């Protein structure tokens, strides 16, 4: 568990995955800002999340305003919006940790792995943003609706990849704060596993008629 409290802007936080993380981190005591292109949408999402938790400190803001006020920024938008959103936030991200949750799904064949030319869309984000932003890949494989159910124990590990070791450690602690086990999987290039695994989990859900497959790394000390 992290002993540090962070301020975390979740861009795309009105969506399912982002709002699940928002709930869990706010509950743990982190300051959470929901970011959206549309500030009214962000504020409405914040109100709804505060109601669920019986509190009032989750706020909503236009994404670049929210990002400017936080030390950790989390990107949870569809693949098609990843680069344009990051470009619009670039000037706010210097010196910060960006947790990129993007999965390179290409509809309609979302259960088929279709990697981008760079193999990893998170590596592509790091290249575009430059070295001053510490990009970490995480949370791609966790079911959004399980995240939103705070009583549910989630049987899925979080693969955490990034080129900065300290940033990986911070994100592993943040996974713990959300009730998840984060695993250090090394350099950002290794993000390919989490990015491709999401299509495989979608396939498994259909094939075996189950709601939420996930993965666990075995062989680790308990």
Footprint of its own copies (CB under 8 A): 111-115, 119, 155-156, 159, 183-187, 189-190, 192-193, 196-197, 199-201, 203-205, 207-208, 210-221
Q: How far is the CB of 20 from its own copies (least distance, A)?
A: 17
User: With contact defined as beta carbons under 8 Å apart, do 57 and 33 qualify?
Assistant: no
Q: How far is the CB of 185 from its own copies (least distance, A)?
A: 5
Q: How far apart are CA 132 and CA 121, in angstroms?
A: 18
Q: How far is the CB of 125 from its own copies (least distance, A)?
A: 16
Q: How far is the CB of 187 from its own copies (least distance, A)?
A: 6
Q: How far apart are CA 106 and CA 144, in angstroms?
A: 19
Q: How far is the CB of 120 from its own copies (least distance, A)?
A: 8
Which of 154, 174 has the CB closer to its own copies? Answer: 154
User: With contact defined as beta carbons under 8 Å apart, do 25 and 174 qualify?
Assistant: yes
Which of 8, 159 has the CB closer to its own copies? Answer: 159
Provide the 3-class DSSP secondary structure of residue 148: helix
Q: How far apart are CA 63 and CA 198, in angstroms?
A: 26
Which of 65, 106 has the CB closer to its own copies? Answer: 106
Which of 1, 220 has the CB closer to its own copies? Answer: 220
Q: How many CB atoms lie within 10 A of CB 5?
A: 12
Which of 53, 200 has the CB closer to its own copies? Answer: 200
What does the DSSP 8-state code read for residue 55? -
Q: What is the CA radius of gyration of the chain?
A: 16
Whether residue 108 is preceded by a cis peptide bond, meaning omega within 30 degrees of 0, is: yes
């Amino acid at each position: 568990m992290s002993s540090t409290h962070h301020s975390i802007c979740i861009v795309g936080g009105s969506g399912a995955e982002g709002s699940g993380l928002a709930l869990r981190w706010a509950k743990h005591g982190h300051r959470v800002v929901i970011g959206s292109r549309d500030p009214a949408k962000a504020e409405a999402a914040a109100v709804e999340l505060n109601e669920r938790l019986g509190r009032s400190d989750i706020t909503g803001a236009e994404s670049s305003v929210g990002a400017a006020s936080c030390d950790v920024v989390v990107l949870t938008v569809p693949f098609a919006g990843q680069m344009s959103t990051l470009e619009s936030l670039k000037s706010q991200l210097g010196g910060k940790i960006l947790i990129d949750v993007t999965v390179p799904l290409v509809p309609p064949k979302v259960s088929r792995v279709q990697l981008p030319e760079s193999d990893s869309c998170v590596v592509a984000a790091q290249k575009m943003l430059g070295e001053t932003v510490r990009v970490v890949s995480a949370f791609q494989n966790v079911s959004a609706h399980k995240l939103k159910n705070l009583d549910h124990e989630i049987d899925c590990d979080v693969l955490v990849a990034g080129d900065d070791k300290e940033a990986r450690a911070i994100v592993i602690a943040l996974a713990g704060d959300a009730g998840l086990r984060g695993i250090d999987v090394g350099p950002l290039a290794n993000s390919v596993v989490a990015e491709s695994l999401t299509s495989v989990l979608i396939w498994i859900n259909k094939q075996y008629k189950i709601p939420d497959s996930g993965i666990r790394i075995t062989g680790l000390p308990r």
